[in-house]
Amino acid sequence: MRCEILYERSSGRIVGLRQCAAAEEVLVPTSDQDKMLAEFDPGRKPLSAFRVNPVEGKILENPDFSPPARLVLTCDAPGKHPVDGVPEIRADGKSFTSILVQKVDLDGNALASDADHDRMYLRTDGGLLTDAEGKQIWMVQLKNGAARVRLVSGRESRVAVVRVFNENTYLIPGQLAVEFV
């Protein structure tokens, strides 16, 4: 017998439980991303989830899961492609754009507390990532949930993708495409 959770998608609420064993607790993924990933890797822990106790019919606190968050990258590039809106900077090896890395909750609200000082790792497949002084970097420390880095253009026209991530599996990585024109 498999425990079924009756979930109302429009309101995001549990409206009932069916066929649950008395002592069984059920782990329920709460995001569409988790539901999709579970299809490919059934043993993977969800990014956001809760446990349901069917006997008491209530949601339990789950200390195994941190509140999920994601990284959002924005930049101050002077131009944008007219069709897809990708930020643009000159492909001269000197031009740069300042990139803001911000930690936000799944609703897009900034997480800017003293606890939001994660170390972030940076990758790009084009140009160079630097700090404000021009020193090449591969990681940055968030301060109150945010940090700034620079992407210096390469000399060839192309689209470069900047990726930011860390070891916290509950923090969804972010990326930003920038075109060198």
DSSP per-residue codes, 14-67 = EEEEES--TT--EEEE-SHHHHHHHHH-TTSPPSSEEEEETTTTEEEP-TT-PP
Q: Does residue 156 share a domain with residue 73?
A: yes
Q: Does residue 51 share a domain with residue 76?
A: no
Domain boundary among 35, 60, 85: 60
**pLDDT per position as a tens digit, 100-138:** 999 998 788 898 887 778 899 999 999 999 999 999 999
Residue 81, SS3 per DSSP: coil
Q: Point out the least confidently predicted range of 7-21, 61-75, 92-106.
A: 7-21
Share of the chain above pLDDT 70, in %: 61
The number of distinct structural domains making up the chain is: 2
**pLDDT per position as a tens digit, 39-56:** 555 555 555 544 554 445
**CA proximity to 15, closest of 28, 1, 31, 33:** 28
Share of the chain above pLDDT 90, in %: 50
Q: Give the pLDDT of residue 154.
A: 96
CATH number reported for the structural domain that contains residue 106 in this entry: 2.60.40.10
What is the β-pairing status of strands 69-75 and 171-172? parallel
Q: Give the pLDDT of residue 1.
A: 45
pLDDT at 25 > cutoff 50: no
Domain region containing 156 = 69-180
Q: Does residue 119 share a domain with residue 41?
A: no
Q: Does residue 157 share a domain with residue 99?
A: yes
Query: Residues 6 or more apart from 147 whose CB is under 8 A from it?
Result: 100, 101, 120, 140, 141
Predicted TM-score of the model (pTM): 0.65
**145 vs 115: CA distance, rounded Å:** 8
pLDDT at 86 > cutoff 70: yes
**pLDDT per position as a tens digit, 151-175:** 999 999 999 999 999 887 678 899 9
Residue 12 · residue 3 · CB < 8 Å: no
**CA proximity to 29, closest of 104, 102, 106, 103:** 106
